[in-house]
Amino acid sequence: MTASEDKFTRQTLTAIQVWSPSLFSLRCTRDPGFRFRAGQFARLGVRKADGSVVWRAYSMVSAPHDEFLEFFSIVVPGGEFTSELSRLQVGDELLVDKTALGYLTLDRFIDGRDLWLLGSGTGIAPFLSILQDFEVWQRFERINLVYSARSRAELAYQAMIEGLSEMEHLAEFVHKLTYLPVVTREQVPGCLGTRITELLDSGELERAAGLELTPEHSRVMICGNPQMIDDLRQRLKARGLNLSLSRRPGQVAVENYW
């Protein structure tokens, strides 16, 4: 895939964080003209040794007010893009499309009292951006962040989540947040231990949050692999929570990460 020069900017990698053998984050400079809403994604380009450029979409972890851009990535064994991306070093070039995309944003919902953010793996990225932005704390009375990973080592960004209360513009609102980490392949104290779909089926998710999922009050954002999203959508639809569309406002918004 190619992009003309006027559609992207050249940015510089400023930091790399390795979370596990299969997970890492990248931080780069941000063009002053790049604008996005919390929850959106950008197309990133990496130039290969032969001069060609490979492009993939990544949600911003960083907040709309940050002066940098940050992205969370999985290493796909043999993957054309992540193999190139994972070899980059601080100071290297990263291409960033000038236009942010995506609809996993709060304007998908016209009302609602409680917000559920259900993410697996790197699907936590857009929720971290949303939680650093002021709008979500103004709009909702309760916010439930459910973050599922395979192992304790793959639960990234714990310090950021814990540090939300120390952000000056959020300090008086973070009592609204309930954080429910989920680890599915090992037992970890303080974490739920089965997949989000199973937690929903058994009622354990709602018990842990101390809150019921209802069409009247609940608004749900889901980000992760397509199978998880399909499974959760089916379960939520059976409970009267439907996908929010531009022509028909609903209670659920999704973004595939695959």
Number of structural domains, the chain? 2
CB neighbour class for 143 (10 Å; exposed up to 12, middle 13-18, buried from 19): buried
Structural domain including 77 reads 5-97
> Residues of the chain whose pLDDT is less than 50?
1-2
254 phi and psi angles, rounded to 5 deg: -135, 160
130 phi and psi angles, rounded to 5 deg: -60, -40
**Same domain, yes or no, for 239 and 129?**
yes
Can you give the pLDDT at residue 181? 98
Exposure class string for 23-34: b at 16+ Cβ within 10 A, else e: bbbbbbbbeeeb
pTM for this predicted structure: 0.94
CATH number at residue 175: 3.40.50.80
Give the residues across from 24 on adjacent strands: 18, 73
Final residue in a domain of this structure, among 57, 72, 97: 97
Final residue in a domain of this structure, among 97, 131, 151: 97
**Same domain, yes or no, for 86 and 30?**
yes
Give the separation between CA 124 and CA 129, rounded to whole angstroms. 9
Can you give the pLDDT at residue 246? 84
**Same domain, yes or no, for 116 and 93?**
no
Can you give the pLDDT at residue 1? 43
**Same domain, yes or no, for 148 and 222?**
yes
Q: What CA–CA distances, in Å, run from 208 to 130, 144, 161?
A: 22, 10, 18
**Same domain, yes or no, for 191 and 220?**
yes
